[in-house]
Structure 1
Amino acid sequence: MDQAQASETTAMAGRGVTWAVFLLSGGAIGFEILLMRLLSVALGQYFAALVISLALLGIGAGGSLLALARSWAIRRVRLVFPLLACGFGLAALAMTSLALARAVDFTPQALVWDPSRFQTLVAIYCFLALPFVFSGAGIGLALSAFPRHIARIYRADLVGAGLGAPLMLAAFMWAKPEACMPWVLLVGMAAGAVYLLGQAGPRNTRAGLAVLGLGVTLALLTPVHWATPVPGQYRPLAKALLLPGARITAERSGPMGWVAVVESDIPIRHAPGMSLNSPYDLPDQAAIFRDGGSLGVITRDTGSAEDLAFLDALPTALPYALRPGAEVLVLDAGGGFAVMEALHHGAAHVTAVEPDSRILDMVTAEYAEFSGNVYTRSQVTTEIAHGRAFLEQSKGGFGLIMLRG
């Protein structure tokens, strides 16, 4: 091979590993975001924050393993890098399925009274860290084996990571999180294929096309339920579904979470602070859950004053008695309970701020008649925003601000 051919081969290898690192880095960050969504449903939003630490653990472990076998891996980079990239995709699917299966019977609170649950926690942690071991070792190997292209590889790593998170969040707008798992598998396999296709020779080309074809096939054939999160048995949604005749009557999924509405044959009751001696009956209510955690209720309003008379017996009736006819701001309005309460007590106008548009969609669509069209009344204005962001831009003028859903 003359010098020109050698230079061209080196350039091709550099381009191949650059795009492979781009895909591998983006896939790893996207997978991290996906795990947060899945674990939010299975174990709760606070537990999902551990994904950051397990990702760092896995990447660090991958780098440590690479340091121990650096020379061996560099000599066999044409074989080892594709295996690490493909291993990331395959491990992401397999380990997530195993971790979610173990999470069904696990609750973080049980660690207080049952130390043996730490074994389950460690198992979940190790399962989910393994894909990041592959991605960390793969990116580290690329940087070590191709020092002439280190700037390009590092740039691809940063750009891939920067795009991986927003692309995964965008995917949540059209697909449930579990439906995104096969794409993580495909991205890992594609990274291995792109690396092989970037190497000179028909043998590498055939191998790259075979790996890519295998990845597409596995992504298309992978059952979605393998990565479907099930709320743990101690989660509020799991408890609500134990009621006789309990059923999910409406649901939405998006970047802000999975929202489900539950009705049951046994009446659902939500009246915070109401005395057990209260003479009022409560109307029918449907419970709202986000990622398996309680979010509030949608209350039936038939237009009869008797239906909402129980609102006079709640502690939150006092502010309205002190500020009659006030302009009311409700933050995190949710199913509209606090909005309905403000209207019942004679608020002049209610501004309902809710960050998740899908909740408003459910209340104004499937539950429009049930809720008495609470969000579409002339006295109500809805805003899609986070409470803090809305307050920073608001001109004020509210007599009451209700911090509840």
Structure 2
Amino acid sequence: MVNSETKNQVESSWVVVGLVAIAMSTLIVEIALTKFFAYKVYHHFTYAVLSLVILGFGASGVYVYLRPKFFGQEAWSRAARYGGYYAVSLLVALLLFCWVPIDPYDQALPPAIRALSLPIYFVLFTVPFFFAGVCISYTLTASKRPVTRIYFWDLMGAAAGAALCPILLRSVGGYATFALAAAGGMLALHAFNKAAAGNASKPLRELPVWGIFAAVVVVVLWYPGFAVEKYGFDIRSSKDWYHRIPYLRDFDGIESTYWNAIARVDVSHTGYSSDPTFNGGLTPEARDTDIPGRYFLVDGGANTRQYKVTGPITEQNFIGDSLWGAPYILRNGVERTMVIGAGGGIDILVAKYFGAKEVDVAELNEATVSILTGRAVDPEKDNYLPWLVTDENTTVNVYHAEARHFATTQDAGRYDVIQASAVDTLTAISSGGMSLVENYLYTVEGVEEFMRLLTPEGILSLTHWRTRPPMHNLRMFLTYLEALERSGVKDAYRHVIVVAGPDTVMPDGSLAPDWTDTLMRLQPFTEEQGQRIRDWAVKYDRVVLFDPLRPDAPPPGIRESEQIYWELGFMSREERLQYLEDAEVHLAPVVDDKPYFYQMAKVVNIESGFLVVQRPVFYMFIVALIAAAALILLP
């Protein structure tokens, strides 16, 4: 592979420095890139990032193997050159990825263009990973050090990059993190160049490369501000466009951005809006009012809201009358509430409105924790924070914790209300791009854990969209029944109530769905509680989708497709299981071993297997098959 003259040269320690720098850089990029992919497309494309790395590194290994004379002639100066290529091409790829207005979800584009968007992303980032792989492959091939020692330093660099990336994202943001990672490529260039000079090889002229690199870094750091000003968002995408429209129209776009390894959070300016994505769950009267507040976007898609309150909480009837007040309507007095995923803090406001003495908040995203506790650099925190923190009536404890884990640390029977309202951010975690944080909240075991924490009169409240026909909201209902029956409860239906808000008629005549709140009580609901929730629903134009105290007929006012609640709720367990087995969609409750709560389609063929995720994944699979066949046949 490498000529004998090169092998006999004394090897410089700069070789190790270059290897560590490039390995550390690529790991930082791999992690940070998942945040950019999540913003442009979705979290499950995390696997695409891994594919990019494997493809680029694999191609580089073949490239080095096929060109032994090319690398042997100038030894480490060749590796230095590829370190520079990597640094510059990485930042160019990032700019193009963020700026190019092509994505799989833009219905205005021809299907062929949408299908090609993912391969385009692949090509963009495979190029820099190829250049980085050349540096690593050549070092493994040409170094005089034992391969085990080279591999050790490669792993040390990668480990350092994995540890540094979350810190960098939190401290300097996504774009600066990429710039610093690219600087690792430039450090590799310098180190390999030093090694070349020490071995009497002709070193690369570094100054022009540093000049080009500096210019590209300036553009990368300038781009987000420019793009937000011109396009509204720095990462251009049509993903979840129905959130982005009111975000720009009613809230004047992004005011603050917070990056971390879990998700990016964009906080808008304060504005006024009656859009259903902002006022969902409120009463019809409140929805028709332009309510002041801020709009949060998590990874450019999932939203949460933060209402601006003036005066005492107990005077904010639009908060207390919201759908999230349902568990408190069913109780007489609340001591402790557990909030899962506080978002902008509406559940905290609701708990305070109903007089909760203590509120424990389990919030996964550290940026959200910082906003809710006042630690974030937030220019508008004085307009929101005083109503979210501890006051003379309520103690608020905000914990940076995943809710399932947090639940295991709490004593049994601690909470009167456990509430998770609209926390479906679809956030990816380390167990894999298709394992979503919220999935584990909604498994049978998750519900059982929350049941353990309830007082005998406690209420569990979990919410989902009121879809047509019922889907995830119906699965949540069935999960409650399964968890109760596993716990030995007879007539499990007597412990569950489902209430939903009305759709909003949009200006174009379309209907924007509201939310369903699925409520569970350890003790059977009483007739007095049932009448209380019915009266409350009628007062605010809501409907009770499942009433355990009215088995004779479906509740009035529900859609025909929603009668399935009544049918399944009063079935025997055996009849219900048979119905779920025969259903065209997968409605059965999920468990921790298979926690895919959001995947409803039943797999009947290859295409449907991919469509369980999304159609672009199927397109990507077809392109991958074609590319694989070409690579096999062409050589």
- TM-score, L = length of structure 1: 0.84
Residue identity opposite 2:388 in structure 1: V
The answer to whether 1:264 aligns with 2:271 is: yes
Contact 2:22 2:184 in 1 (8 A): yes
Give the whole-Å Cα distance in 2 for the aligned partners of 1:204 and 1:222: 34
The answer to whether 1:333 aligns with 2:342 is: yes
The alignment partner of 2:383 has SS state of coil
Contact 2:91 2:220 in 1 (8 A): no
Contact 1:35 1:51 in 2 (8 A): yes
When the two structures are aligned, how many residues end up with a matched partner?
A: 398
The alignment partner of 2:310 has SS state of coil
Partner of 2:124 in structure 1?
127
Partner of 2:562 in structure 1?
none
Contact 1:30 1:164 in 2 (8 A): yes
Residue 219 of structure 1 and its aligned partner are, at CA, apart by 6.9
Partner of 1:243 in structure 2?
249
1:85-104 pair list within 5 angstroms: 85-102=83-100, 104=101
Give the whole-Å Cα distance in 2 for the aligned partners of 1:273 and 1:154: 55
- Distance 1:220-1:90 versus aligned 2 partners, 3 A rule: closer
Partner of 2:465 in structure 1?
none
Give the whole-Å Cα distance in 1 for the aligned partners of 2:290 and 2:383: 18
Give the whole-Å Cα distance in 2 for the aligned partners of 1:202 and 1:212: 22
- Distance 1:123-1:111 versus aligned 2 partners, 3 A rule: farther
> C-alpha deviations, 1:165-207, integer Å up to 9, x for none?
2212211222121122322222112112212212455965864
Residue 37 of structure 1 and its aligned partner are, at CA, apart by 2.3
Higher mean alpha-carbon deviation, 213-222 vs 348-357, is at 213-222
Contact 1:331 1:403 in 2 (8 A): yes
Partner of 2:409 in structure 1?
393
Partner of 1:43 in structure 2?
41
Give the whole-Å Cα distance in 2 for the aligned partners of 1:64 and 1:125: 19
Which of the numbers 123, 142, 153 marks the counterpart of 1:156? 153
The alignment partner of 1:381 has SS state of strand
- Distance 1:225-1:307 versus aligned 2 partners, 3 A rule: farther
- Distance 1:49-1:323 versus aligned 2 partners, 3 A rule: farther
Residue 281 of structure 1 and its aligned partner are, at CA, apart by 5.2
Contact 2:341 2:364 in 1 (8 A): yes
1:1-400 pair list within 5 angstroms: 9-12=9-12, 15-70=13-68, 72-102=70-100, 104-108=101-105, 114-146=111-143, 148-201=145-198, 207=204, 210=207, 214=211, 217-218=214-215, 221-226=218-223, 229-236=234-241, 238-243=244-249, 246-262=252-268, 263-269=270-276, 270-274=278-282, 276=284, 283-303=291-311, 308-326=316-334, 327-363=336-372, 364=374, 366-370=380-384, 372-378=386-392, 379=394, 380-396=396-412, 397-400=414-417
The alignment partner of 2:172 has SS state of coil
The alignment partner of 1:198 has SS state of helix
> C-alpha deviations, 1:99-134, integer Å up to 9, x for none?
2222x3324475998243122221111111111111
Give the whole-Å Cα distance in 2 for the aligned partners of 1:307 and 1:106: 45
Which has the larger share of helix? 1
- Structure possessing the higher relative contact order (Cα contacts under 8 Å, 6 or more residues apart): 1
- Distance 1:68-1:395 versus aligned 2 partners, 3 A rule: same
Residue identity opposite 1:80 in structure 2: R
Residue 305 of structure 1 and its aligned partner are, at CA, apart by 6.7
Report the aligned-residue RMSD.
3.4
Give the whole-Å Cα distance in 2 for the aligned partners of 1:211 and 1:152: 33
- Distance 1:212-1:120 versus aligned 2 partners, 3 A rule: closer
Residue 328 of structure 1 and its aligned partner are, at CA, apart by 0.8
Give the whole-Å Cα distance in 1 for the aligned partners of 2:306 and 2:237: 24
Give the whole-Å Cα distance in 1 for the aligned partners of 2:209 and 2:261: 29
- TM-score, L = length of structure 2: 0.56
Residue 63 of structure 1 and its aligned partner are, at CA, apart by 1.7
Higher mean alpha-carbon deviation, 272-281 vs 120-129, is at 272-281
- Distance 1:99-1:123 versus aligned 2 partners, 3 A rule: same
- Distance 1:242-1:283 versus aligned 2 partners, 3 A rule: closer
Residue identity opposite 2:125 in structure 1: L
Contact 1:186 1:219 in 2 (8 A): no
Give the whole-Å Cα distance in 1 for the aligned partners of 2:214 and 2:255: 34
The alignment partner of 1:37 has SS state of helix
The alignment partner of 2:171 has SS state of coil
Give the whole-Å Cα distance in 2 for the aligned partners of 1:279 and 1:94: 45
Residue identity opposite 1:351 in structure 2: D
Partner of 1:3 in structure 2?
none
Give the whole-Å Cα distance in 2 for the aligned partners of 1:284 and 1:307: 16
Residue 374 of structure 1 and its aligned partner are, at CA, apart by 1.8
The alignment partner of 1:289 has SS state of strand
Larger Rg: 2
The alignment partner of 2:294 has SS state of strand
Give the whole-Å Cα distance in 2 for the aligned partners of 1:49 and 1:301: 42
Give the whole-Å Cα distance in 1 for the aligned partners of 2:255 and 2:185: 37
Contact 2:344 2:368 in 1 (8 A): yes
Give the whole-Å Cα distance in 1 for the aligned partners of 2:218 and 2:314: 55
Residue 159 of structure 1 and its aligned partner are, at CA, apart by 0.3
The percent identity for this pair of structures is 19
- Distance 1:157-1:108 versus aligned 2 partners, 3 A rule: farther
Contact 2:263 2:299 in 1 (8 A): yes
Higher mean alpha-carbon deviation, 323-332 vs 213-222, is at 213-222
Contact 2:37 2:43 in 1 (8 A): yes
Partner of 1:402 in structure 2?
419
Give the whole-Å Cα distance in 2 for the aligned partners of 1:7 and 1:75: 12
Contact 2:254 2:266 in 1 (8 A): yes
Give the whole-Å Cα distance in 2 for the aligned partners of 1:279 and 1:58: 51
> C-alpha deviations, 1:185-234, integer Å up to 9, x for none?
22112112212212455965864764785587457645413477424134
Residue identity opposite 2:56 in structure 1: G
The alignment partner of 2:302 has SS state of strand
